[in-house]
Amino acid sequence: MPSSSKELTKEEEEGIREEIAELENELGGKDPDAAIKEHIALLHQYNELKDATQIMIGKMATMKDTTVRKLHEDYGLTSDD
């Protein structure tokens, strides 16, 4: 099977090294696996809060005899919120 790898030019190699340095700087010394686990935990927390909020908006809509969509409009919420 022929190899499809190619040698990197000095410029490509330097570009990759710079990108790695930038990413490591963004991590601020954190272990990448720990950073990913923390991010996932924060996403779970965000989703739980969003779900709870949607439940409350649904209850408000029922109490006000309106739609969830109308409440979203009234409160300036987008589908991304």
What is the DSSP code string of 36-79?
A: HHHHHHHHHHHHHHHHHHHHHHHHHHHHTTS-HHHHHHHTT--T
pLDDT at 3 over 70: no
- Residue type at position 44: H
Whether residue 55 is contained in a domain is answered as yes
- Contact assessment for residue 73 and residue 61, using Cβ atoms and an 8 Å cutoff: no
Whether residue 81 is contained in a domain is answered as no
Place 18 in a pLDDT band, splitting at 50, 70 and 90. very high
- Residue type at position 25: N
- Domain of residue 22: give its range: 10-74
Whether residue 66 is contained in a domain is answered as yes
Specify the pTM: 0.62
- The pLDDT assigned to 28 comes to 87
Whether residue 21 is contained in a domain is answered as yes
Residue range 22-71, pLDDT digits in tens: 998 988 888 889 989 999 999 999 999 999 999 999 999 999 999 999 99
> In whole angstroms, what is the distance from residue 49 CA to residue 81 CA?
11
> For the chain, how many structural domains are there in total?
1
Whether residue 80 is contained in a domain is answered as no
